[in-house]
Amino acid sequence: MKRLLLALVAVAVLAPAATAGGWATVGLGSLPPDDLEAGSIWAVDLKILQHGVRPLEGVVPVVRLTDADGAAGGEFAATPTGKPGVYHAEIRFPAAGTWRYAIDDGFTQTHTFKPVEVGPVSTPSSFPALPVGGIALAVAFAAALALFLRRTRSAPQPAPLQG
């Protein structure tokens, strides 16, 4: 009877410890693009694996942005994609600068990644360079063709032979 009681106490004490804890890994479907601009969106799939092996379902991963000074830049919840352990997030970088992103796996921990550089919003040129360049090339070609045709018509013709 004492053994049974001791076994029950051991199970009661050790069972929660056996089910608690664990860890997960977060894999990225893509890295942030090199040409990120302020306000642009990085659409990424996150693969959450329990103990780095089993797809983890039923969690809500969150991507958090912080700037170089540590100020918050936004939180973006990832949603299930329908594939086991795969979640989709769309992260908007609010301004130019260096941004750090961390992913709370929704299970046990937050994973940090290498910072990314986000450039300023590029403004398109107000002067259309490509069409004007094409037109200039066409005009130059037409002028060269006109000069060539003019020279071939105005070249002196040989005198006919008299016999």
Predicted TM-score (pTM) of the model is: 0.64
Q: Could you confirm whether domain 22-118 is CATH 2.60.40.10?
A: yes
Q: Which is it for the CA torsion 125, 128, 134, 140, positive or negative? A: negative
pLDDT at residue 142 greater than cutoff 70 = yes
159 pLDDT band (50/70/90 cuts)? Answer: low
Could you state, in order of their start, the residue ranges of all structural domains in the chain? 22-118
| H helix or E strand, kind and range, residue 142 | helix 129-154
140 burial (CB, 10 Å; 0-12 / 13-18 / 19+) is exposed
132 pLDDT band (50/70/90 cuts)? Answer: low
